[in-house]
């Protein structure tokens, strides 16, 4: 912070010196062009430049002390115009005292027209200095506000994502444990396999707390473990298949998104039919995005599809929106005795190391 303030102050003095030096140089060039060489006027304009540095620095201190940067334009403009005129009058007054007091210029060279012309000239220069000063601070404040807004939005987004994930974890864990409870005595070997699958899900669940997205292939491994556990529960009532295009296996998606939709398909679809049903998970590359389809036996009313309440869909929509904005999409449709959830996700996610490696 101290280094930043030091560099900022250094830059200010560089701009001050170079700006007023340029002003003095321009006036000297004009004087040489129209009147020829006169060392007296070179001294006068050089001295004006030095006084300009002092006067505008004093003006800067007043702006900071009186907090003019916080004023509205209607209050600020009159103050700046008046301050510019007073600063110009100060520069002219001190310069006049020096040049006439030392005899550098004679009083016969003094006339009202010259004074007014120089006053307007210097007032305009100080006014320009003020405009540049306020513009720089306005731009910095705008930039600072934008950074603060982005930081705030990122914090809110992070909080919302963590909140949404925390809503998911207990839900699927309890269902998974219920799926293997009956196997403990009936089929110990299969129970061991099921415990390994549940262990995989637990490990995945713990790891996702540290990331917003995961590779599709890692999510699919969890879905496979989950469906294997549910197969124990529903037996022949549940049939499933998973078909993933290898070209998009590394695409980044929100963790537990597909698993939650699969779980909803079983809970609100297959479990309601005495004969059970089927679950299909497909993922393919379509043009410039990945299309993921989760299908389950059943149907939804138009009202249920429209409102999407009670099916975990609202949660998924929020997560997609937080991560991808309008670059992603979510749709639910009834088709030939199946409810299809269609997700479209933009490619280009991070190539994360697999959680199962």
Does 337 lie in the same domain as 206? yes
Does 308 lie in the same domain as 189? yes
Instruction: Write the pLDDT tens digit of every residue in 201-227.
Output: 778 877 776 677 889 999 999 999 989
Whether 150 is covered by a domain: the verdict is no
Whether 173 is covered by a domain: the verdict is no
Out of 9-13, 172-176, 244-248, the most confident range is 244-248
Helices 2-35/39-65 angle, 10° precision: 150
Q: Report the pLDDT value the prediction gives residue 88, as an integer from 0 to 100.
A: 86
Tally of domains in the chain: 2
**76-93: average pLDDT:** 87
Kindly list the strands in the beta sheet with 277-286, ordered across the sheet, starting from the edge strand earlier in the chain.
Answer: 238-244, 277-286, 289-297, 338-345, 329-335
More confident residue, 306 or 85: 85
**Separation between Cα atoms, residue 248 and residue 220, nearest integer Å:** 12
Instruction: Write the pLDDT tens digit of every residue in 337-349.
Output: 899 999 999 875 4
Does 115 lie in the same domain as 217? no
Does 316 lie in the same domain as 188? yes
Whether 29 is covered by a domain: the verdict is yes
Q: Looking at the predicted structure, is the pLDDT value of residue 279 above 70?
A: yes
Q: Which of 33-37, 92-96, 242-246, 277-281 has the lowest mean pLDDT?
A: 33-37
**Separation between Cα atoms, residue 13 and residue 30, nearest integer Å:** 26
Residue 332 near residue 319 (C-beta atoms within 8 A): no
**240-247: average pLDDT:** 93
Across the chain, what does the average pLDDT equal?
79
Give the confidence band of 278 by pLDDT, cuts at 50, 70, 90: very high
Whether 171 is covered by a domain: the verdict is no
Range(s) of the domain holding residue 294: 181-345
Does 197 lie in the same domain as 131? no
Residue 275 near residue 237 (C-beta atoms within 8 A): yes
Whether 350 is covered by a domain: the verdict is no
Closest CA to 115 of 89, 94, 97: 89
Whether 353 is covered by a domain: the verdict is no
Q: Looking at the predicted structure, is the pLDDT value of residue 292 above 90?
A: yes
Does 323 lie in the same domain as 201? yes
Return the exposure string of 20-41: e unless at least 16 CB atoms fall within 10 Å of the residue's CB, then b: beebbeebbeebeeeeeeeeeb
More confident residue, 130 or 304: 130
Whether 155 is covered by a domain: the verdict is no
Q: Looking at the predicted structure, is the pLDDT value of residue 139 above 90?
A: no
Does 133 lie in the same domain as 13? yes
The residue among 116, 143, 170 that closes a domain is: 143
Does 279 lie in the same domain as 214? yes
**Separation between Cα atoms, residue 90 and residue 86, nearest integer Å:** 6
Instruction: Write the pLDDT tens digit of every residue in 29-67.
Output: 887 777 666 677 777 778 888 888 888 888 888 888 888
Whether 86 is covered by a domain: the verdict is yes
Does 21 lie in the same domain as 70? yes
DSSP 248: G
Residue 91 near residue 99 (C-beta atoms within 8 A): no
Does 109 lie in the same domain as 216? no
CATH number for the domain spanning 210: value is: 3.30.565.10
The residue among 123, 143, 163 that closes a domain is: 143
Does 88 lie in the same domain as 224? no
SS percent in the chain: helix, strand, coil, step 5: 70, 15, 15
The residue among 118, 143, 168 that closes a domain is: 143
Does 130 lie in the same domain as 233? no
């Amino acid at each position: 912070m101290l280094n930043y303030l030091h560099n900022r102050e250094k830059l200010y003095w560089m701009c001050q010196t170079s700006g007023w030096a340029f002003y003095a140089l321009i006036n000297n060039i004009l004087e040489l062009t129209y009147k020829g060489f006169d060392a007296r006027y070179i001294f006068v304009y050089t001295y004006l430049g030095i006084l300009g540095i002092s006067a505008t620095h004093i003006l800067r201190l007043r702006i900071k002390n009186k907090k003019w940067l916080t004023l509205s334009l209607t209050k600020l403009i009159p103050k700046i115009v008046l301050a510019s005129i007073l600063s110009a009058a100060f520069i002219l007054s001190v310069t006049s005292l020096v040049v006439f007091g030392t005899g550098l210029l004679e009083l016969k060279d003094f006339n009202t027209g010259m004074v007014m012309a120089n006053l307007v000239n210097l007032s305009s220069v100080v006014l320009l200095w003020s405009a540049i000063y306020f513009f720089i601070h306005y731009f910095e404040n705008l930039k600072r506000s934008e950074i603060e807004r982005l930081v705030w939005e990122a914090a809110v987004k992070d909080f919302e994502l963590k909140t949404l994930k925390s809503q998911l974890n207990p839900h699927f864990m309890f269902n998974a444990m219920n799926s293997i409870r009956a196997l403990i005595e009936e089929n110990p070997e299969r129970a061991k396999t099921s415990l390994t699958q549940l262990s995989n899900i637990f490990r995945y669940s713990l790891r996702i707390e540290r990331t917003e997205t995961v590779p599709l292939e890692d999510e699919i491994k969890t879905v496979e473990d989950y469906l294997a556990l549910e197969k124990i529960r529903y037996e022949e009532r549940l049939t499933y298949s998973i078909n993933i295009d290898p070209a998009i296996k590394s695409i980044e998606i929100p963790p537990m998104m597909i698993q939650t939709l699969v779980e909803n398909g079983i809970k609100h679809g297959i479990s309601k039919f005495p004969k059970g049903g089927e679950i299909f998970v497909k993922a393919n590359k379509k043009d410039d995005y990945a299309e993921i389809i989760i299908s389950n036996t059943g149907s939804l009313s138009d009202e249920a599809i429209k409102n999407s309440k009670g099916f975990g869909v609202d949660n998924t929509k929020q997560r997609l929106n937080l991560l991808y904005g309008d670059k992603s999409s979510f749709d639910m449709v009834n088709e030939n005795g199946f409810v299809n959830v269609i997700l479209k996700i933009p490619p280009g996610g991070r190539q994360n190391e697999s959680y199962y490696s």
